Structure 1
Amino acid sequence: MNWKEIKVSEDNSQFIHNNKPVFKRFTEVLKFHEPGIAAVSDTSGWYHINVTGEAIYLQRYRRTFGFYQKRAAVIEEDKWFHIDVDGKPLYEDKYAFAGNFQYGRCVVRDINGSYFYIDAAGKRISEKNYRYAGDYKDNYACVMLTDGSYKHIDKSGNFIYDPSFNDLGVYHKGFAIAKDENGWFHIDIKGNGVYLERYAFVEPFYNGCALVQKFDGSKIIIDEQGKCIHCL
């Protein structure tokens, strides 16, 4: 059975293949991820199953999540960590939160509330701590610094530009949404605004267009140069 063809039922309690239920009914299921493993829960707790519906290990957790780059975050009591596809812990440390691996990097939060990144072996990629940090996307991650401002970092933990922002989103096709003291706008990969206008809210670009809301409440569609191409 091809795991990519296995879907989750509408009530999130079963898996569907060729429009028919497969395996048993669970309390809750999450979709299959590479290499063909899914997180499920029943009366015994949370664990992972393979494409035949069998548990891949004996351990049960308070919560399990999907595999990303063959690593999955799990919660044992109140401690978070990652396991490999054999169900073995990747490292000895335990955290207050653990994200998903992307580009061989993953964000975690320690018991003191600091966020930082670990590599595929569970080692810190740098000594930098953040007030908040998100998953990597398109090779970069968005972080909140200790002073409350935001920047983007690369896979080595280095800032990719000089300015900081009041708020920030992830990069998508070379652009990210950002906020300064005057409002929201879009920035390029160098941290430069792609236009002068500021808005009450902006969405990421989709097929070269983005919905933005002016401070008077009206909404328009702009292109990647900031030009209004449609009024709503």
Structure 2
Amino acid sequence: MPMQKFNKYGKPRGFHYGYVDKKGQFVIEPQYNMAMPFHEGVASVEKRDKWFFIDLSGQRISDTYDWIGVMNEGFASVVRNDKWGYIKRDGQLLTPLSFDYGLSFSEGMAAVRDNGKYGFVNDKGELVIPTVYEEAMPFYGGTACVKTGGKYGQINKDGTFTIDPVFERFFTFHESLSAVSHEGQYGYIDSNCNLVIPYQFDYAFKFCHGLARVYLNGKTGFITKQGEWIVEPVLQEAEDFKEGLAAVRQDERWGYIDTSGNMQIEPQFVHARSFSDGLAYIRTEDRGVFIDRDGEWQFEDTFEEILPFSEGLACALVKMTEPPSGDPVLASLDRLNTHWQQIRKLFANQSSVRSDLEQSLQQQTRYIDDFRNELAYWVVALPRTLTLEKVIQDLKIADVLDSLDEDIQNLVHSEIEFAISGDQVYRSTHFMLIEHADDAGNE
């Protein structure tokens, strides 16, 4: 099978994500095919097509899924076999995986889609607002925007309309105002549906730090909640205010303005991102750099890609130049074999409780996943020609394999072959373990 040059996220093979600190140093080594920023102390990452959460030390703290969303308010959306649900921070299920789609939690509620319609679940996992809407947005300030009959309105947490669905476009309230559209123009209403800023803009965004970004006649400006211009529509581009500053482009150069409309960092950059966690990414003609709020350079970008900082760390993509350490593979293999021996003893003991056996088997499945992920990372981290024998030699696990139970030896050999070929293990690992453990109990 020819080796693909890119993974399914469009990233070159041999490149992996890790996490760097604000000095640009890796504190969680590159090892993931994809990684997301930290939020509430955890980040979702992907290895071998499986997503899971890690903590700030890089330790895996959840089961694996086909997808995991951002942790918000102690809950995260997860996907398995194309069905969505939610887990708690401790990894326990909040809801069954039964929905077609789900948004992040906000104010104790999350929008979910079932059979093409949206409703809301609460933080107890209960469907408290039926799935009857064509679209739904997160709750903010006790209300959420929904669409029904082709029009947008607003509901409260009881599902009662507080603003009737009469608008062509309606955004969730932010800082007590919401952008709405009528006959192709945008204005702002308050929570009583009073039009407080008349329809006049080509497009309008949410309020941040008391100001909103709007488009007018092909240019961008910022207005106050009274509809007054704090920055006239003369900017070529702009981002929303983040941490008190907004990135703006003027005369082909990017800089940053403060909430008074004054230029805090003069336009001088080819590109600029919003501030996050006290730093912002900018590009000059020849390099990328992170700057602080004073415009001082903090460290240069030497990565293939780097995302904004969050909770002190940023995801960074780098090319692997040498094979990673095999120690994590060996450690996961040792855990796998140790637990397997415990399972065999449980099955050999006629007095073992069935629920204990099944729980132990489920845990063994996780140990297999851990070993599979560590092995897959070690195999694909650096493009090179590998065989079963070479993997065993390079990982220095020949003696370890000889000491293992025969069933685990066979499993390890299969996993190595699968990792090299890139094929998936379609047979249920849980089913296979039950077969072998039952055989052990009958010996």
TM tier relative to shorter chain: 0.7 to 0.9
- 2:90 and 2:137 map into 1 onto residues whose CA distance is 26
The reply on whether 1:39 has 2:56 as its aligned counterpart is no
Displacement of 1:15 after TM fit?
1.6
Paired residue type of 1:223: T
SS at match of 1:80: strand
Q: Secondary structure of the equivalent of 1:194?
A: strand
Structure-2 change in CA distance of 1:205 and 1:66 (3 Å): closer
Counting matched residue pairs gives 217
Tell me if structure 1 keeps the 8 A contact 2:86–2:97: no
Q: Does 1:28 align with 2:34?
A: yes
Residues 167, 197 of structure 1: alpha-carbon distance in 2 compared, 3 angstrom cutoff: closer
Amino acid at match of 2:27: V
Q: Does 1:225 align with 2:212?
A: no
TM (norm. structure 2) is 0.45
Deviation string for 1:96-133 (max 9, x for gaps)?
A: 101111111000101x1011000012111223610010
- CA distance in structure 1 between the partners assigned to 2:100 and 2:165 by the alignment: 30
Counterpart of 1:135 (choices 132, 135, 138) is 138
Deviations 1:71-107 (A, max 9, x none): 1111112111111122221122511101111111000
For 1:51, which of 45, 48, 56 is the aligned residue? 56
Please report the RMSD computed on the Cα atoms of aligned residues, expressed in angstroms: 2.4
Is residue 161 from structure 1 mapped to residue 163 from structure 2 by the alignment? Answer: yes
Q: Distance in 2 between matches of 1:70 and 1:152?
A: 25
Shift of 1:224: 2.4
CA contact (8 A) 1:182 1:198 kept: no
Match of 2:126 in 1: 123
Runs (5+) with no aligned partner, structure 1: 1-10
Structure 2 distance, partners of 1:226, 1:97, is 37
Q: 5+ residue gaps in structure 2? A: 1-14, 235-443
SS at match of 2:120: strand
Measured after TM superposition, the shift of residue 218 of structure 1 is 6.0
Say which structure is richer in helix: 2
2:117 corresponds to? 114
1:15 to 8, 15, 19: 19
Aligned to 2:182: 180
Deviations 1:19-74 (A, max 9, x none): 3312332222212222x2221111261111123322123x3211112211111111
Q: What TM-score do you get using the length of structure 1 for normalisation?
A: 0.82
CA distance in 2, matches of 1:18, 1:211: 29
- Quick one: higher RCO (CA 8 Å, sep 6+), 1 or 2? 2
Q: 2 CA distance for matches of 1:12 and 1:177?
A: 40
Determine the C-alpha separation between the residues in 1 that align with 2:203 and 2:49: 45
- Larger radius of gyration, structure 1 or 2? 2
Query: Which residue is 1:6 aligned to?
Result: none
| Partner-residue secondary structure (3-state), 1:160 | strand
Instruction: For residues 182-203 of structure 1, give each alpha carbon's deviation from its aligned partner in whole angstroms, at most 9, with x where no partner exists.
Output: 6211111111111344332223
Contact 1:150–1:168 (CA under 8 A) maintained in structure 2? yes
Given the alignment of the two structures, is residue 80 of structure 1 paired with residue 93 of structure 2, yes or no? no
CA distance in structure 1 between the partners assigned to 2:84 and 2:29 by the alignment: 28
2:29 alignment partner, SS class: coil
101-110 vs 83-92, which deviates more? 83-92
Alignment match, 2:435? none
